[in-house]
């Protein structure tokens, strides 16, 4: 399969149809991310389509040195934020979400068996199903980073670049997201 930047060059050279290759490649990961960030399926489909429309319209501004997937995710993230603003959804207080950002993350001890044994209670498929449920429950600022990492497979460096946050902060928040999911699994077996 052609490299993303090659496909972009083809599209910019006038082979508009080549853009479909990029849609086919990224439609599923983008929809997986957007679909879990907005509740309604139709809205998620509209937003995913809008990502590709905007990407196409702004293809000339795309820097081939930048990861194309990250570029799409950045567009998607901005669209989702716009969507939230339009719907006037309540914003989660950053202080509330990240209050334990400065510490407490290293307090885990393997002796804390309750914290870890949760995974032993489920077969992996059941666990996936429960994680899916839990993802919907965590604050969206954390959920977004979690999805970038585990659904879109972005590296921490890529996530830091997209979000404008330091790598350490991104890692920290992804960890918090996982801990909230794990806490949800414990509370609702």
Partner 1 sequence: MSCLSLVEVDDYLEKEIAPEKAKSVEEHLLVCPDCRAAVANRRRFLEACSRLPDLPLPLNWAKTVMAKILSVGPTLPILILAAIAGLSFLFSSFRFLLGSLRPETSAPAFEFRLPLLGLVKSALLLLVKAAVAVTSGFRTFLRPDRFSFPGTGWPFSVLTLELAAGLFMAAVVFVFLLAYYYRLGLTREKKVSG
- Does position 98 interact with partner 1 (CB under 8 A)? The reply is no
Q: Show the tokens assigned to 166.
A: 């330091």
- Does position 45 interact with partner 1 (CB under 8 A)? The reply is yes
Distance of CA 176 to the CA centre of its chain: 14
Q: CB 13: neighbour CB atoms within 10 A?
A: 9
Q: 10 Cβ partners below 8 Å, 6+ apart?
A: 2, 18
Q: Which 108-147 positions form the footprint of partner 1 (CB under 8 A)?
A: 108-111, 113, 115-120, 124, 127-128, 130-132, 135, 146
Q: 112-141 burial, b for 16+ CB within 10 Å, e for fewer?
A: eeeeeebeeeeeeeeeeebbeebbeebbbb
- Does position 35 interact with partner 1 (CB under 8 A)? The reply is yes
Interface residue with partner 1, options 2, 24, 81, 89 (CB under 8 A): 24
The residue count for binding partner 1 (CB under 8 A) is 58
**Minimum distance from CB of 128 to partner 1 (Å)?**
5
- Does position 160 interact with partner 1 (CB under 8 A)? The reply is no
Of 23-31, 66-74, 83-91, 158-166, the window that binds partner 1 (rule: CB under 8 A) is 23-31
Interface residue with partner 1, options 27, 43, 92, 169 (CB under 8 A): 27
Interface residue with partner 1, options 2, 3, 28, 85 (CB under 8 A): 28
State the Cα–Cα distance between residues 122 and 28, nearest whole angstrom. 27
DSSP 46-93: HHHHHHHHHHHHTGGG--TTS-HHHHHHHHHHHHHHHHHHHHTPPPPP
> Distances from the Cα of 23 to the Cαs of 53, 72, 147, in angstroms?
10, 10, 19
- Does position 19 interact with partner 1 (CB under 8 A)? The reply is yes
- Does position 169 interact with partner 1 (CB under 8 A)? The reply is no
Residues of the shown chain interacting with partner 1 in the complex, contacts defined by CB under 8 A: 12-14, 16-17, 19-20, 23-24, 27-28, 31-32, 35-36, 41, 44-45, 49-50, 52-54, 56-58, 105-111, 113, 115-120, 124, 127-128, 130-132, 135, 146, 150-151, 153, 156, 171, 175, 178-179, 181-182
């Amino acid at each position: 399969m052609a490299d993303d930047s090659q496909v972009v060059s083809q599209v910019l050279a006038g082979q508009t149809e080549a853009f479909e290759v990029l849609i086919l490649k990224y439609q599923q990961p983008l929809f997986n991310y957007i679909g879990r960030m907005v509740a309604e399926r139709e809205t998620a489909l509209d937003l995913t389509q809008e990502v590709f429309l905007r990407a196409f319209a702004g293809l000339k501004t795309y820097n081939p040195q930048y990861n194309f997937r990250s570029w799409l995710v950045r567009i998607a993230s901005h669209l989702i934020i716009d969507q939230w603003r339009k719907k006037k959804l309540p914003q989660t207080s950053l202080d509330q979400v990240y209050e334990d950002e400065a510490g407490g993350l290293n307090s885990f001890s393997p002796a804390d068996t309750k914290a870890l044994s949760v995974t032993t209670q489920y077969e992996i498929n059941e666990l996936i199903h429960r994680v899916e449920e839990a993802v919907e429950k965590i604050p969206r600022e954390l959920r977004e980073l979690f999805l970038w990492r585990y659904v879109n497979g972005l590296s921490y460096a890529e996530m830091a670049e997209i979000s404008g946050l330091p790598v350490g902060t991104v890692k920290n928040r992804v960890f918090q997201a996982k801990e909230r999911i794990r806490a949800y699994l414990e509370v609702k077996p």
